[in-house]
Amino acid sequence: MRTIPHYINGVTVSAPGELPVFNPATGDITGRLPLPSTTVVDEVVAAARAAWLTWRQSSLSQRTNVLFALRHLLVQHTDELAALITSEHGKTIADAKGEIARGLENVEYACGVTEHLKGSFSSQVADGVDVHSFRESLGVVAAITPFNFPIMVPLWMTASALATGNAVILKPSERDPSVSVRLGELLTEAGLPAGVFNVLQGNAATVNQLLEHEGVDAVSFVGSTPVARHVYNVATEHGKRVQALGGAKNHMVVLADADLDIAADAAINAGYGAAGERCMAISVVVAVGDIADELVAKIAERADRLIVGPGDDPTSDFGPVITDEHRQRVLSYVTSPDPGITVVRDGSALSERTGFFIGPCLLDGVAPGMRAYDDEIFGPVLSVTRVATYADAVALINANPYGNGTAIFTRDGNAARLFSRQVSVGMIGVNVPIPVPVSSYSFGGWKNSLFGHSHIYGPEGITFYSRAKVVTTRWPLASESQIDLGFPRTR
């Protein structure tokens, strides 16, 4: 049985494996993961800091060359990377390739670092005085990433951090860690100097060591809200810059004028894709007015057509969930529903298969105060909530403690515009169920979906991974020498 290594200072580093890594489609243990000692953590941070001292001085063209080469290698190795993701996560090959493509978008954005790091210049702000600004790197960045996107989220963080001159320590999920090591190898092949990008395997204890380590300057995190809150609190207490993206409860509002076939298709795609293990998955369909019965019937009919199977089977629409423990938790919302919920489709029968499978589940009559509504289920469970009016739908979304993503389906442009302005949510789709922004914008939610002020990737990512300097310059003549104890004047 293979042991998944660390990737430190440009080489793989083997260590005794302790944590099991599963193939979710079979339930078999396919590898073991090392848990690093404090000494190993110190060595990784030291390697990253030493490499940063050189990388921070690298030219923007050198950084761009590395990122362009990385993009080429990611495209060239897409099939290999997708197969590796599927073997440990369980998502379909097509979904894994889509994840790689969305990660590539931010690599491409980061290739424009020369434009993104432009400063400003003001000439003659006072007699003989000029002012200019520029941005520099922070130092060593810890990137702590979730299991559900084992290469996309690391690319969201890493490309921006490297472009701005930082060194990176990636702590991937212990559920699907192998593709991170392969990413490290590809970065080295792309010309990145040793130590600038490192992969440190481990668990929650490893995360806490990074949060508290004096050699780490900033932390990027994506995961559940309780952990995001912990990461933010601990890391900021230790003087670090932090962006911590948490959980979600994403609503899809369907107005009475919407095309219900299109809305039902969207609900299926956004609710069951990747077995619902997406922070931007639609988990609640909000049916407005008297359309609920028809909409539920259309969703149920489509759910019956979905094929659930191994991710490497091209006929599968979605694969297993990540672990057996998670499967049991997800099924509890269906097998023991809250009073008042109608179980329209029960996917629990698939749990008898080998592997961690759940069929598509559909719940109707879900409302605030019920577990199925209040919790982030993170599985192939789609809930339907019925409200009377558009105003009720907006109030429902705004009362929710999460504010990651939401969508509205309608043919009324004015209603869509009002919705975009009235909901307290960071990312909004109009007839788009999963509104993940393109890389020239930034990704992130509001309320309990984000701790820290900065969203991830795009312009806010560049800003997060860099800090500004302002330089005021004057070149006086010797004849202008004088003593003046007054406050500096601009005129």
pLDDT for residue 54: 98
pLDDT for residue 246: 97
Q: Which two tokens stand for residue 101?
A: 């493509």
**DSSP alpha helices (H): ranges in 336-485?**
371-374, 390-399, 413-422, 458-464
Contacts with 166 (C-beta within 8 Å, 6 or more apart), sequence order: 52, 55, 56, 137, 138, 139, 140, 141, 217, 218, 465
pLDDT for residue 488: 66
Q: Are 133 and 470 in contact (CB under 8 A)?
A: yes
Rounded CA-CA distance 483/480 in Å is 10
**DSSP alpha helices (H): ranges in 112-177?**
113-116, 152-163
pLDDT for residue 329: 97
pLDDT for residue 182: 98
The DSSP output letter for 144 is: E
**Quick check: helix, strand or coil at residue 362?**
strand
pLDDT for residue 490: 60
End-to-end CA, the chain: 74
Instruction: Collect contacts of 120-126 with beta carbons under 8 A, ≥24 apart.
Output: 125/472, 125/490, 126/489, 126/490, 126/491
**DSSP alpha helices (H): ranges in 321-389?**
324-335, 371-374
Rounded CA-CA distance 186/276 in Å is 30
pTM above 0.75, yes or no: yes
pLDDT for residue 364: 98
Q: What is the DSSP string of 86-123?
A: HHHH---HHHHHHHHHHHHHHHHHHTTHHHHT--EEEE
Rounded CA-CA distance 331/359 in Å is 10
Amino acid at site 206 = T
- From 323, 347, 350, select the one nearest 272 (Cα to Cα): 347
CB atoms within 10 A of CB 213: 20
List 93, 153, 279, 387, catalytic entry: 279
The pLDDT tens digits along the chain (491 residues) read: 799 999 999 999 999 999 999 999 999 999 999 999 999 999 999 999 999 999 999 999 999 999 999 999 999 999 999 999 999 999 999 999 999 999 999 999 999 999 999 999 999 999 999 999 999 999 999 999 999 999 999 999 999 999 999 999 999 999 999 999 999 999 999 999 999 999 999 999 999 999 999 999 999 999 999 999 999 999 999 999 999 999 999 999 999 999 999 999 999 999 999 999 999 999 999 999 999 999 999 999 999 999 999 999 999 999 999 999 999 999 999 999 999 999 999 999 987 889 999 999 999 999 999 999 999 999 999 999 999 999 999 999 999 999 999 999 999 999 999 999 999 999 999 999 999 999 999 999 999 999 998 999 999 999 999 999 999 999 988 777 777 777 666 66
Rounded CA-CA distance 95/268 in Å is 15
- From 40, 109, 10, 7, select the one nearest 440 (Cα to Cα): 109
Our CA dihedral for 176, 185, 97, 65, rounded to 10 degrees, sits at 140
Top CATH class of 250-430 equals alpha beta
Rounded CA-CA distance 75/67 in Å is 12
Topology classification of domain 2-246+449-471: Aldehyde Dehydrogenase; Chain A, domain 1 (3.40.605)
pLDDT for residue 291: 98
Helix axes 178-189, 60-76, angle to 10 degrees: 130
Rounded CA-CA distance 127/73 in Å is 52
> Any idea where the domains of the chain sit in the sequence?
2-246+449-471, 250-430
**Quick check: helix, strand or coil at residue 428?**
strand
Rounded CA-CA distance 321/90 in Å is 7
Q: Cβ-count burial of 239 within 10 angstroms (0-12 exposed, 13-18 middle, 19+ buried)?
A: exposed
Catalytic status, residue 279: yes
**Quick check: helix, strand or coil at residue 474?**
strand
